[in-house]
Amino acid sequence: MLQKPTLIKLGLLLAILVLLPAVWLYDATLQPPEIMYDVVIRGATVVDGSGRAGFRADVAILGERIAKVGSVPIRSGRTEIRGAGYILTPGFVDIHSHVDMTIRAHPQSLAALHQGITTVIVGQDGRSPLNIGNFLAEIDALAGLGVNFGTLLGHGLMRHRIVGLRSDITPEELATMSALVTTAMEEGAFGLSSALEYWYNAPATTTELIHLNRIVALHGGVYITHVRDEAAGIIAAIEEALDVARATKVGVSITHFKVRWRENWHLQGPAINLINEARKEGLVVIADAYPYLAPDFATSWPLRLHSHRDPRDLLLKRTTHPYGEKYLEHTLSEIAAAENIAPAQVIVNLLRHDADVGVDPRSETLVTGLLMSEGNLRQVLSAPFTAIASDNSAPPKTGNLATHPRGFGTFPRFIARYLRDAKLLTLEEGVRRMTGLPAEFIGLKERGLIKEGYFADLVMFKLSEVQDKATFSNPEQYPEGIDYVFINGVASIVGGQFTGETGGRAVFRNQRPD
């Protein structure tokens, strides 16, 4: 049996052992720590944009850059954010944006910021100013610039100003365009864009595009093209884009990739296969897509002008008929099934109601034309080469019913509908489609990944809470669940609300934007 003095000594020893951790904890946490970082996000699940599996880590921001990914000393940030339960990703890169349409009047670009978009690439569809250097300098000087802003040179408007609508082109005209492309690339353009389906760009020949894209490729740029036909002629249209890639080795993106009209939907699979085969060949080819079934020109059709279309492809957008109280955002075929009548009768009922109350453009029945199929859209989003893009500006809230909901909801919709709910891709691969893939293709320097030394463009959300709210009937609604957005280290969205602080800047293909 132990003697009493021995028991006392053992008791003291146990007390010391119990108290030692507390003493250590006191020293580690209560002594004034050294502030090393501006912001530390602790314990979030990092999905870094590369496609690799997510991992738990602290992420520290110092100035405009990511200073540390891993374990960060406690209480070493001026601001510390609990990341438990959150997904932390790179800022979303909108590789096909029209923010240039709204940026001067609305430089904060709140509709983009609230989606988690931190970088936009504009000058799309063959449209841009000719003087890229002046253009980027003007945007960079805007007070309150909310997003990083890069541009392409628009081939269509450049060509129209020099050649007009002729298909033939003189050697002198080609030399003039070549000089403009060279200058644009030297001034920081990311490449060349075309919209060969549009009147101002349609006269361009493949030979001309090959000549100009050789210059683009020489400067390390890319070619983003709205192909000549997105309907019955889509295969030949994509072949033309691939011919440009083969002849020049330029990277090519097929913009807002889709097949329009029900009678052509069967061509979606062959179009995807065509791109996959080109990639196996070694060509650098991607596409971008938005997760909606209607393009912008089909968002607000008066039913009286489109009543001949398939009722399965007409979504009720607005009406003063009683159907409007129950069936907005339903197709006319779905309404017919719910009412147990023929689709043709639904159309008759709506048109008769409009006639009875007097046709008024401000209140008549409007429909949205669903030109793409859900099955095809899922094929496109699943394709390994597809990036997500809004194909939209960042419009202010004006009550404009014709606004496409993609301007407010593209990226949250992709996350909520296709990654979380449909599980079309893994979260990691889906994030890559919004970040690393477009950034790598476009040549965006030190963005698109969560990586030490990269710019601190970051988005944080709880996956279960992300939801787009914008619809065709009510498009001007910010999404829910995008809780934090940092741009170049500046916290622009906190708790889902705009802080009033902006960190956007012009970005350039050929120089480090320090």
C-beta neighbour count of 511 within 10 angstroms: 10
Residue type, 30: L
Mean pLDDT in the chain?
Answer: 93
Mean pLDDT of 2-19: 48
pLDDT > 90? residue 24 = no
Look at residue 389 and tell me whether its pLDDT is greater than 60: yes
Query: In this predicted structure, what is the pLDDT of residue 390?
Result: 97
Confidence of residue 33 (pLDDT cuts 50, 70, 90): low
Residue % of the chain over a pLDDT of 90: 90
Q: Is 420's pLDDT higher than 70? A: yes
How many other CB atoms are there within 10 angstroms of residue 53's CB atom?
11
258 and 230 in contact (C-beta within 8 Å)?
yes
- Residue percentage of the chain with pLDDT more than 70: 93
pLDDT value for 187: 97
Q: According to the model, what pLDDT value does residue 133 have?
A: 96
pLDDT value of position 17: 44
- Please give the pLDDT value at position 2: 44
Phi then psi dihedrals of residue 331, to 5 deg: -75, 160
Find the range with the poorest average confidence among 1-10, 27-36, 192-201, 202-211.
Answer: 1-10
Mean pLDDT to the nearest integer, 158-176: 96
Q: How confident is the model at residue 360 (pLDDT cuts 50, 70, 90)?
A: confident
Q: What is the model's pLDDT at position 513?
A: 44
Determine the topology of domain 91-295+371-444 in CATH. TIM Barrel (3.20.20)
User: Is 12 in a helix, a strand, or coil?
Assistant: helix
CB 407 within 8 A of CB 392: yes
Helix (H) or strand (E) holding 367: strand 366-369
Cβ(438)–Cβ(449) below 8 Å: no
Q: What is the mean pLDDT of residues 194-208?
A: 97
> How confident is residue 359, by pLDDT bands cut at 50, 70 and 90?
confident
Pseudo-torsion of CA 58, 60, 64, 65, nearest 10°?
-70
pLDDT tens-place string over residues 139-151: 999 999 999 999 9
Give the phi and the psi of residue 358 in degrees, each rounded to 5. 95, 120
Token readout for 112 is 């983009």
Lowest mean pLDDT among 12-26, 118-132, 280-294, 310-324: 12-26
pLDDT tens digits for range 476-491: 999 999 999 999 999 9
For the cut 70, the answer to whether the pLDDT of residue 23 exceeds it is no
* pLDDT at position 361: 84
Q: Does position 283 have pLDDT exceeding 50, yes or no?
A: yes
Query: What pLDDT score was predicted for residue 368?
Result: 98
Contact of 128 with 159, CB cutoff 8 Å: no
User: Three-class SS of residue 358?
Assistant: coil
Residue range 252-259: mean pLDDT, rounded: 98
Domain parsing of the chain, residue ranges: 91-295+371-444, 296-368
- For residue 511, the model assigns a pLDDT of 63
User: What's the pLDDT tens digit per position in 286-324?
Assistant: 999 999 999 999 999 999 999 999 999 999 999 999 999
> What pLDDT does residue 29 have?
42
Q: Are 289 and 388 in contact (CB under 8 A)?
A: yes
Among the residue ranges 3-7, 200-204, 431-435, the one predicted with the least confidence is 3-7
The residue with tokens 């440009």 is 244
3-state per-residue secondary structure call for 469-482: CCCCCCCCCCCECE
At which residue do the structure tokens 């197709």 appear? 331
Distance CA 81, CA 84 (A): 9
